[in-house]
Amino acid sequence: MNTTYQNHFIKSCSQPDEFWMEHADIISWIKKPSIPFEVLPNGATKWFPDGELNTCSLCLDVHIDEGRGGQTAIIYESPVTNTVRSYTYIEVLREVNAVAKGMIDRGLQKGDAAIIYMPMIPEAVFTMLACARLGVIHSVVFGGFAPKELAVRLEDAKPKIIFTADAGIEIQKTIHYKPMVDAGIEISNHKPDCVVVLNRGLSDQCTVTNRDVKWENFINDGFFIPATQVASNDPLYILYTSGTTGKPKGIVRENGGHAVALKYSMEHIYGVKPGEVYWAASDIGWVVGHSYIVYGPMIHGATTMLFEGKPIKTPDASTFWRIISEHKVVTMFTAPTAIRAIRKEDPNGDMIKGYDLSHFRTQFLAGERCDADTLEWTAEKLGVPVIDHWWQTESGWPMLGQCIGYGLDPVKPGSANFPIPGYNVQIIDEQGQPAAPGEEGLVCVKLPLPPGALADLWQDTERFERSYLSPVPGYYFSGDGGYRDEEGYVFITGRVDDVINVAGHRLSTAEMEEVIAANANVAECACFGIHDELKGQVPMAMVVLNHNSCSIDELVPELKAAIRSDIGAIASIKHIIEVARLPKTRSGKILRKTLRAIVDGHGYQIPSTIDDPAILEEIEQKVKTQINTKTKTI
Ligand code: COA
Ligand code: AMP
């Protein structure tokens, strides 16, 4: 472990106040903070409580004032619509002002909420920044979510306004956004005052009603909108993420800590300089999109790539390498699933060879566990360091990884590397104590959490405390399991709760169970994630049917369609099989972990708490006949 990193890490833990005040000095505050942080009675940390700033101004005005307004801020690459367009910082500010003025004209003000349900287009970024400019709290909803999911978020965030578009393109399929917004509002008990619709000319299903305003009639060009002064702890956005119940969690991100953390991470974790091109190939509907498509690169004054496409089929598996080459990307960030998809199409990496990648320095991976094989293949084919790093919607920026800015340590495939300064990551054993090297336990972070990490859930402090602070007193509980080796490398082994990760998308199996259990033919069910070569995990379900129900063969298409229409296409469930009974503990808890082990063909121990071990044998037999597997009991 290099000593520069070590010294910074140690200081961030022993003197977090001094460490972060130094880094806070680098951003332009409207009112500089004098207090580093406050710890609330429940253990949550509020960073820079007396500071005031504006995040949009940090992303735009600061660079323009420093004379870099002519630099490219955003490169929009959309292979699905054959579009490439660039915007300078000055041009982005003009667009953002026009959206902000439209919002002011309709009475929006600081503290109001807005939902953004849009594809990966520049207008979505302008809208996020316009919200930030006015202190309006945005909540971006991923386009892959169905109307019902949108309705849940509408009811929780209670937005005054929704921004949408007619459609997006997923490879070759048109995703009609506007009808989904209409359906979401219909189901929701909360109705926004107005829906702003950007018509890209891609859909024949884009009806505009009295409640709707066309984008071109909404925006109001030609004004300079002063950035609203907000408190460091005022919310910038709410981002909903899957939890262990049917209701998603509204992660609240506060302005001050977020800006400081992202600026720090761009320089020290990613090793990117202002003016360089940085690319996070994610979606603005996920935290990666918020932090590293929009706010991180723009606060840092880098050029960000906004990519409306897929790693494959848009048009082929060379797209990533072409973009890196053509736009001089120095650092890229994607999910292991994307690399596995590319590798499947181009196993020898032949498509990389035609491109000049000499300027490309580092490939980062995150969003799901990265198997050693995928990491090694990427490093060999690209000839640059490949860094797996671990984080969550809750943290907002990496908790484990390597800090390129402090110097690179050897990479150990399979490991998400070392704790990032600010995150005192510890593995906690069953007794609530730090685990020995090699011993698996819960991955936790010793409090206080650093700037940028969550300090609450949207209007649900009780759930925040119950989910993250109560499980291991004195620590933030991540929901992941893992271990640390003798040399300090941390390995994440996966979620220890009912959250799964499908193609880098975080989903709740509890939510899927709710949808399946709502079918009148189903007596009870268990959903869990099973291993998938491409997507890392995919969901599957075991169902117990009611007497007199229809046959499972008739029911499966119905259940799959219900998951798709209630949650979204991304929750594509792989297998649904019928079982006579589900294995449970004596207190009635379904043993999902054991079911997963049976299907994945891992050895499993018969849990001592099981009420009837014979059920496992029945299920093993069923799985063997219906899904190919090599199960062994230990
Ligand atoms: N809007 C609407 N629908 C979407 C969507 C979006 N933004 N994203 C995915 N979907 C739909 C897909 O069209 C697909 O629908 P279908 O079943 O009708 O074909 C379904 O959701 C499943 O999508 P996905 O899991 O992405 O599988 P895929 O086979 O379409 O694509 C990959 C496979 C590997 C190309 C794709 O999963 C991928 O690019 N993964 C990387 C994701 C990533 O970068 N995650 C990082 C988050 S930090
Ligand atoms: P999300 O909040 O959608 O970013 O998902 C966070 C979850 O994804 C984590 O709790 C992990 O389970 C998983 N995850 C993210 N990055 C990694 C990684 N590098 N290695 C293993 N798991 C990861």
> Hey, what amino acid is at 586?
R
pLDDT tens track for 348-390:
999 999 999 999 999 999 999 999 999 999 999 999 999 999 9
* 337 close to ligand 2 (CB < 6 Angstrom): no
* 137 close to ligand 2 (CB < 6 Angstrom): no
517 inside domain? yes
pLDDT above 90 (res 630): no
Angle at 275 between CA 353 and CA 398, to 5 degrees: 80
Distance 123 CA to ligand 1 centre (A): 22
The answer for residues whose C-beta is within 8 angstroms of residue 350's C-beta and 6 or more apart is none
- The CB density around residue 151, as the number of other CB atoms within 10 Å, is 18
* 390 close to ligand 2 (CB < 6 Angstrom): yes
The answer for residues whose C-beta is within 8 angstroms of residue 74's C-beta and 6 or more apart is 86, 87, 92, 122, 125, 303, 304, 305, 306
What are the phi and psi torsion angles at 73 (to 5°)? -95, -45
pLDDT of residue 634: 42
pLDDT tens track for 409-437:
999 999 999 999 999 999 999 999 999 99
3-state helix, strand, coil in the chain (%, to 5): 35, 25, 40
Closest atom of ligand 2 relative to the 478 alpha carbon:
10
Distance 338 CA to ligand 1 centre (A): 10
* Ranges assigned E (strand) in 257-366: 277-280, 303-307, 329-334, 362-365
26 inside domain? no
Q: Which of 290, 420, 492, 535, when mutated, tests ligand 2's pocket best, judged by the most ligand atoms within 8 Å of its CB?
A: 492
Ligand located closest to 172 CA:
1
Distance 149 CA to ligand 1 centre (A): 17
pLDDT of residue 633: 44
User: Chain centroid to CA 619: how far?
Assistant: 34
pLDDT tens track for 25-45:
999 999 999 999 999 999 999
Which residue has the least CA distance to atom 18 on ligand 2?
390
In 3-state terms, what secondary structure has residue 9? Answer: helix
Angle at 312 between CA 310 and CA 315, to 5 degrees: 90
For residue 532, give its domain range: 501-626
Which residue has the least CA distance to atom 3 on ligand 1?
144
- The CB density around residue 14, as the number of other CB atoms within 10 Å, is 10
The answer for residues whose C-beta is within 8 angstroms of residue 211's C-beta and 6 or more apart is 193, 194, 195
Q: What is the DSSP string of 438-476?
A: T--EEEEEESSP-TTS---BTT-HHHHIIIIISSSTTEE
In 3-state terms, what secondary structure has residue 626? Answer: helix
Which residue has the least CA distance to atom 17 on ligand 1?
569
Ligand located closest to 169 CA:
1
Ligand located closest to 288 CA:
1
Query: pLDDT class for 628, splitting at 50, 70, 90?
Result: low
613 inside domain? yes
Which residue has the least CA distance to atom 9 on ligand 2?
392
Distance 37 CA to ligand 1 centre (A): 40
In 3-state terms, what secondary structure has residue 254? Answer: strand
What are the phi and psi torsion angles at 501 (to 5°)? -130, 105
In 3-state terms, what secondary structure has residue 539? Answer: strand
Distance 570 CA to ligand 1 centre (A): 6
Ligand located closest to 564 CA:
1
Structural tokens at position 401: 């990884």
Q: Which of 415, 501, 531, when mutated, tests ligand 2's pocket best, judged by the most ligand atoms within 8 Å of its CB?
A: 501
- The CB density around residue 155, as the number of other CB atoms within 10 Å, is 13
The binding-site residues of ligand 1, defined as CB within 6 angstroms of any ligand atom, are 143-144, 170, 173, 175, 281-283, 286, 288, 310-312, 334-335, 337-338, 341, 367, 503-504, 535, 569-570, 572
Q: Which helix (H) or strand (E) holds 122?
A: helix 122-134
Q: Which of 117, 178, 337, 532, when mutated, tests ligand 1's pocket best, judged by the most ligand atoms within 8 Å of its CB?
A: 337
Ligand located closest to 468 CA:
2
User: Mean pLDDT for the chain?
Assistant: 96
The answer for residues whose C-beta is within 8 angstroms of residue 503's C-beta and 6 or more apart is 335, 337, 368, 534, 535, 536, 570
3-state secondary structure 390-434: ECCCCCCCCCEECCHHHCCCCCCCCCCCEECCCCEEEEECCCCCE
Closest atom of ligand 1 relative to the 142 alpha carbon:
7
104 inside domain? no
88 inside domain? no
Q: Which of 80, 572, 574, when mutated, tests ligand 1's pocket best, judged by the most ligand atoms within 8 Å of its CB?
A: 572
114 inside domain? no
In 3-state terms, what secondary structure has residue 337? Answer: helix
Which residue has the least CA distance to atom 1 on ligand 2?
392
Ligand located closest to 394 CA:
2
* 368 close to ligand 2 (CB < 6 Angstrom): yes
pLDDT above 90 (res 1): no
Closest atom of ligand 1 relative to the 175 alpha carbon:
2
CB 594 within 8 A of CB 618: no
pLDDT tens track for 117-167:
999 999 999 999 999 999 999 999 999 999 999 999 999 999 999 999 999
Q: Hey, which residues does 169 pair with through a beta bridge? A: 174
d(CA 626, CA 173) in angstroms, rounded, equals: 31
- DSSP state, 350? G
- DSSP state, 290? I
d(CA 208, CA 454) in angstroms, rounded, equals: 37
Which residue is it, tokens 């630099």? Answer: 71
Ligand located closest to 240 CA:
2
CB 338 within 8 A of CB 311: yes
Closest atom of ligand 2 relative to the 494 alpha carbon:
12
Write the CATH number for 608. Answer: 3.30.300.30
406 inside domain? no
Which residue is it, tokens 């990032």? Answer: 420
pLDDT of residue 632: 46
The percentage of the chain sitting over the pLDDT mark of 70, rounded to a whole number, equals: 99
Domain count, the chain: 1
Which residue has the least CA distance to atom 23 on ligand 2?
368
Q: At what angle do helices 147-157 and 552-566 cross, to 10 degrees?
A: 40
Ligand located closest to 477 CA:
2
pLDDT tens track for 453-487:
999 999 999 999 999 999 999 999 999 999 999 99
pLDDT above 70 (res 562): yes
* 507 close to ligand 2 (CB < 6 Angstrom): no
In 3-state terms, what secondary structure has residue 325? Answer: helix
Sign, Cα dihedral of 555, 556, 561, 564:
positive
* 369 close to ligand 2 (CB < 6 Angstrom): yes
532 inside domain? yes
Distance 504 CA to ligand 1 centre (A): 9
Which residue has the least CA distance to atom 6 on ligand 2?
392
Closest atom of ligand 2 relative to the 400 alpha carbon:
19
d(CA 207, CA 514) in angstroms, rounded, equals: 32
Average pLDDT of span 535-554:
94
572 vs 53: which has the higher pLDDT: 53
d(CA 138, CA 195) in angstroms, rounded, equals: 14
> Hey, what amino acid is at 312?
I
Q: Where are the alpha helices (DSSP H) in 188-254?
A: 215-218
pTM: 0.95
